[in-house]
Amino acid sequence: MSYRLNSIFNKLIFVSVLAFTIFGCKSDIAAGPAAPDFSLKDLSDKTVTLKQYRGSIVVLDFWATWCPPCRAAIPELVAMQEKYRDKKLAVIGISMDDPRKVTNEYLRSFSEKFNINYIILRFDLKVVEDYFGAQAPALPTLYIIDRDGQVRDKLVGFDPDALQSAVERLLK
């Protein structure tokens, strides 16, 4: 009898996690606070701040090379960067890869392989805390930041329609 309850319990957990993943990843969370500024290194060891992008719409993508949904988002982000560059849209990828295991050289190679045309930065604990608080970050998570530096949308998981819609609302 105990085995049967344990099996049912495990199935309920599996279904709950699956439902959260499917429905939770597609949620559009309304926002509005100022996006926390950051000072992070790019793959050439150059310091980049969010403040440098004031006046542009920013798609801030927290991602990792080992994350399948993150990889699936890359072609959409590349296309978006290309399509809206002249309208002052900037895609910024913040790699959540462990720098002890994933070097800048590997990230540059990865970037070339996937034709990434936007800037990639390395995370630090401060940016993770500023954007996720005490919660563990879900990957990918995209913050859509308006020209005034306000967070307008937060997309957890990859939903190309939600991303397109969030950006187009700000381009109007």
Extract the tokens encoding 153. Answer: 């949308």
Q: Is 98 helix (H, G, I), strand (E, B) or coil?
A: coil
Looking up tokens 């994933």 gives 102
Extract the tokens encoding 166. Answer: 């969030």
Q: Is 15 helix (H, G, I), strand (E, B) or coil?
A: helix
Is it true that the peptide bond before 140 is cis, omega within 30 degrees of 0?
Answer: yes
* 70 is annotated as an active-site residue: yes
Q: Write down the catalytic residue from 35, 43, 59, 70.
A: 70
The neighbouring-strand residues paired with 156 are 141
32 within 8 A of 150, measured Cβ to Cβ: yes
**Residues belonging to the active site:** 70
